[in-house]
A and B are shown apart, each in its own frame.
Chain A
Amino acid sequence: GDSVTQMEGPVTLSEEAFLTINCTYTATGYPSLFWYVQYPGEGLQLLLKATKADDKGSNKGFEATYRKETTSFHLEKGSVQVSDSAVYFCALRDQGGSEKLVFGKGTKLTVNP
């Protein structure tokens, strides 16, 4: 079945550092891909998404490009802030009947001032 693998954390960075969180997927066809963010004590919020190969999703300074050839959707940000501290989940939309989201295990990011 479909699966998502993302880099294990936790990741600790200093403010203004460059962030990369790796995400690769296994799926039949070309599913839509998502990054969700979970701030402490809150639910999941959509951060960005891409629906086809070579699409770039972007939001709040974060970017990710749908790479079909490497089955990857890595999350990047050029300069992180303390407020970016959260857990980040990579996910794909199942193309079967449920249309469920298949999630990676999450990567916890801590940004220190």
Chain B
Amino acid sequence: DADVTQTPRNRITKTGKRIMLECSQTKGHDRMYWYRQDPGLGLRLIYYSFDVKDINKGEISDGYSVSRQAQAKFSLSLESAIPNQTALYFCATSGGGAWGDTQYFGPGTRLTVL
């Protein structure tokens, strides 16, 4: 089984709808991240969390919110989806600090907002 899973893998929604993307990990990592990938722009950080009680905004957090339900689960919500939020969304985890700086990515969720 994959260490980092994301659901759904694909989602088509309409402008104004609220949607949630979910991420689960079995790596036992404390640090979790949500990135967005747009063609030709690389990946950009939306939110990150270092533990259940720690949530921080990234560089493009407007229009998004997150919930860290448990160490292993980190969800991303779009409160009112708009077309320019159409993108590929990745969750990542890391042991962080002295325990490693490598981030491990999920397979991604392709979101289309009509």
Nearest to A106 among chain B residues (CB) is: B42
Interface residues of B, dominant DSSP: strand
Q: Tell me, rounded to whole Å, the shortest Cβ–Cβ distance linking B107 to chain A.
A: 4
- In the assembled complex, B74 has its CB within 8 A of some CB on chain A: no
Please tell me the size bucket of the interface on A.
20 to 34
On whether A105 and B41 interact (CB within 8 A), knowing A42-B107, A46-B104, the answer reads yes
Tell me whether A98 and B43 are in contact (CB under 8 A): no
**Residues of A close to B41: CB separation below 8 A:** 105
B 45-84 contacts with A by CB, 8 A: 45, 48, 56, 58
Interface flag for B96 (CB, 8 Å): yes
Contact mask for chain B residues 5-49; partner A; CB cutoff 8 A; 1 contact, 0 none? 000000000000000000000000001010100001111110010
Enumerate chain A interface residues (CB-CB to B < 8 A): 4, 32, 34, 36, 42-46, 49, 51, 89, 93, 97-101, 103-106
